[in-house]
Structure 1
Amino acid sequence: MSTVGVVMLVHTALERAEQVARHWTASKCPVVIHVDQKVNRKTYQAFRERLKDNALVRFSGRHRCEWGTWGIVAATQEAAELLLRSAPEVRHVYLASGSCLPLRPVEELIDYLAARPQTDFIESATTADVPWIVGGLGTERFTLRFPFSWKKRRKLFDAYVALQRRVKFRRRVPAGLVPHMGSQWWCLTRQTLSAILEDPERARYDSYFRHVWIPDESYFQTLARQYSTKIESRSLTLSKFDYQGKPHIFYDDHLQLLRRSDCFVARKIWPQAERLYQAFLTDPAGAMKRTEPNPGKIDRIFSKAVERRTRGRRGLYMQSRFPRHGAENGLTSGPYSMLQGFSELFEDFEPWLARTTGARVHGHLFAPDRAELAEGQHLFNGCLSDNAALRDYNAERFLSNLIWNTRGERQCFQFGPADTQKANWFMARDTHAQISVISGAWAIPLFKSNRNFADLRSEAARLQHIEAEHLKILRSQWANARIRIWSLAEFIEAPMENLQAIVDEIGTTAQSHLNEAPRMVDLQGFGQFLQNLKNQGMHPYLMGDFPVEPAPLNNPERPRKPYLVK
Structure 2
Amino acid sequence: MTVGVVMLVHTAFDRAEQLARHWVAGGCPVVIHVDKTVNDASYDSFAVALSDLDQVKFSKRQRCEWGTWGIVAGTQSACELMLKSFPQVRHVFLASGSCMPLRPVRELRRYLDSRPRTDFIESATTADVPWTVGGLDQERFTLRFPFSWRRNRYLFDRYVALQRLVRFRRRIPDGLVPHMGSQWWCLTRQTLSAILQDPDRPAYDKYFAKVWIPDESYFQTLVRVYSTSIESRSLTLSKFDFQGKPHIFYDDHLQLLRRSDCFVARKVWPRADRLYQAFLLEDAATMKGAEPNPGKIDRIFAKAVDRRTKGRPGLYMQSRWPNEDWENGITCAPYSVFGGFAELFENFEPWLAKITGAQVHGHLYAPDRVQFDGRQQFFNGAMSDHAGIRDHNPQMFLTNLIWNTRGERQAFQFGPSDTQKISWMIAKDPNAQVSVISGCWAVPLFQSNRNFADLRHEAAHLQRIENEHLAALRSRWAKARVRIWTMADFIESPMEALQVIVDEMTGKTTRRLTEAPRMYDLTGFGQFLQNLKNQGMHPYLMGDFPVETAPLNQAPKPRKPYLVK
TM-score of the aligned structures, taking structure 1 as reference length: 0.91
1:372 matches 2:371: yes
Shift of the 66–331 alpha-carbon distance from structure 1 to 2, 3 Å rule, reads same
Query: Could you tell me which residue of structure 2 aligns to residue 293 of structure 1?
Result: 292
Q: Give 1:266 shift.
A: 0.9
Q: Is the 8 A contact 2:309 2:326 kept in 1?
A: no
* CA-to-aligned-CA distance 1:294-322 (integer Å, 9 cap, x gap): 11111122222222222223222333343
1:98 matches 2:97: yes
Query: Could you tell me which residue of structure 2 aligns to residue 4 of structure 1?
Result: 3
Query: Could you tell me which residue of structure 2 aligns to residue 80 of structure 1?
Result: 79
Shift of the 459–214 alpha-carbon distance from structure 1 to 2, 3 Å rule, reads closer
* CA-to-aligned-CA distance 1:33-58 (integer Å, 9 cap, x gap): 11111112222111111111112111
Distance 1:28 1:321 in 2: 46
Query: Could you tell me which residue of structure 1 aligns to residue 247 of structure 2?
Result: 248
Q: Give 1:355 shift.
A: 2.2
Distance 2:284 2:86 in 1: 30
Structure 2: runs of 5 or more not aligned:
551-565
Query: Could you tell me which residue of structure 2 aligns to residue 563 of structure 1?
Result: none
Query: Could you tell me which residue of structure 1 aligns to residue 70 of structure 2?
Result: 71
Distance 1:532 1:177 in 2: 83
Query: Could you tell me which residue of structure 1 aligns to residue 308 of structure 2?
Result: 309
Query: Could you tell me which residue of structure 2 aligns to residue 344 of structure 1?
Result: 343
Q: Give 1:160 shift.
A: 4.2
Q: Give 1:256 shift.
A: 2.0
Structure 1: runs of 5 or more not aligned:
552-566
Distance 2:146 2:367 in 1: 62
Question: Does the residue aligned with 2:434 lie in a helix, a strand or coil?
Answer: strand
Q: Is the 8 A contact 1:31 1:58 kept in 2?
A: yes
Count matched residues: 550
Q: Give 1:100 shift.
A: 1.0
**Residues 184-333 of structure 1 correspond to what in structure 2 (within 5 A)?**
184-284=183-283, 287=286, 289-333=288-332
**Residues 121-520 of structure 1 correspond to what in structure 2 (within 5 A)?**
121-284=120-283, 287=286, 289-453=288-452, 455-520=454-519
Shift of the 529–68 alpha-carbon distance from structure 1 to 2, 3 Å rule, reads closer
Alignment-mate amino acid for residue 37 of structure 2: K
Query: Could you tell me which residue of structure 2 aligns to residue 528 of structure 1?
Result: 527
Alignment-mate amino acid for residue 541 of structure 2: L
Alignment-mate amino acid for residue 310 of structure 1: T
Distance 2:448 2:285 in 1: 81
Q: Give 1:93 shift.
A: 0.9
The worse-fitting range, judged by mean Cα deviation, of 153-162 and 404-413 is 153-162
Question: Does the residue aligned with 1:20 lie in a helix, a strand or coil?
Answer: helix
Q: Give 1:4 shift.
A: 1.0
Distance 2:397 2:515 in 1: 33
TM-score of the aligned structures, taking structure 2 as reference length: 0.91
Shift of the 466–180 alpha-carbon distance from structure 1 to 2, 3 Å rule, reads closer
Q: Is the 8 A contact 1:144 1:164 kept in 2?
A: yes
* CA-to-aligned-CA distance 1:425-461 (integer Å, 9 cap, x gap): 2212222222211122222233334445555444444
Distance 2:345 2:452 in 1: 24
Question: Does the residue aligned with 2:68 lie in a helix, a strand or coil?
Answer: coil
Distance 2:488 2:163 in 1: 68
**Residues 35-54 of structure 1 correspond to what in structure 2 (within 5 A)?**
35-54=34-53
Q: Is the 8 A contact 2:433 2:480 kept in 1?
A: yes
Q: Give 1:535 shift.
A: 4.5
* CA-to-aligned-CA distance 1:176-206 (integer Å, 9 cap, x gap): 2222111111011122112222223323322
Q: Is the 8 A contact 1:524 1:550 kept in 2?
A: no
After superposition, the CA RMSD in angstroms is 2.4
Alignment-mate amino acid for residue 436 of structure 2: V
Query: Could you tell me which residue of structure 2 aligns to residue 29 of structure 1?
Result: 28
* CA-to-aligned-CA distance 1:37-92 (integer Å, 9 cap, x gap): 11122221111111111121111111212222222222212211221222222211
Distance 2:433 2:121 in 1: 54
Q: Is the 8 A contact 2:6 2:32 kept in 1?
A: yes
Question: Does the residue aligned with 2:381 lie in a helix, a strand or coil?
Answer: helix
Distance 2:209 2:396 in 1: 51
Distance 1:228 1:172 in 2: 24
Distance 2:534 2:160 in 1: 71
Alignment-mate amino acid for residue 210 of structure 2: H
Q: Give 1:371 shift.
A: 1.7
Q: Is the 8 A contact 1:17 1:99 kept in 2?
A: yes
Q: Is the 8 A contact 2:69 2:214 kept in 1?
A: yes
Query: Could you tell me which residue of structure 1 aligns to residue 119 of structure 2?
Result: 120
Q: Is the 8 A contact 2:104 2:284 kept in 1?
A: no
Q: Is the 8 A contact 1:359 1:508 kept in 2?
A: no
* CA-to-aligned-CA distance 1:188-236 (integer Å, 9 cap, x gap): 1122112222223323322332222222111211121122221110111
Question: Does the residue aligned with 1:29 lie in a helix, a strand or coil?
Answer: coil
Q: Give 1:487 shift.
A: 1.9
Distance 1:375 1:293 in 2: 62
Alignment-mate amino acid for residue 130 of structure 1: V
Query: Could you tell me which residue of structure 1 aligns to residue 559 of structure 2?
Result: none
The worse-fitting range, judged by mean Cα deviation, of 462-471 and 274-283 is 462-471
Distance 1:345 1:160 in 2: 63
Distance 1:310 1:119 in 2: 38
* CA-to-aligned-CA distance 1:78-130 (integer Å, 9 cap, x gap): 21122122222221111101111111111211111112111111111111112
Q: Is the 8 A contact 1:436 1:484 kept in 2?
A: yes
Q: Identity of counterpart residues, as a percentage?
A: 73
* CA-to-aligned-CA distance 1:268-326 (integer Å, 9 cap, x gap): 11222222211211112785733111111111222222222222232223333434444
The worse-fitting range, judged by mean Cα deviation, of 120-129 and 401-410 is 401-410
Q: Give 1:145 shift.
A: 3.4
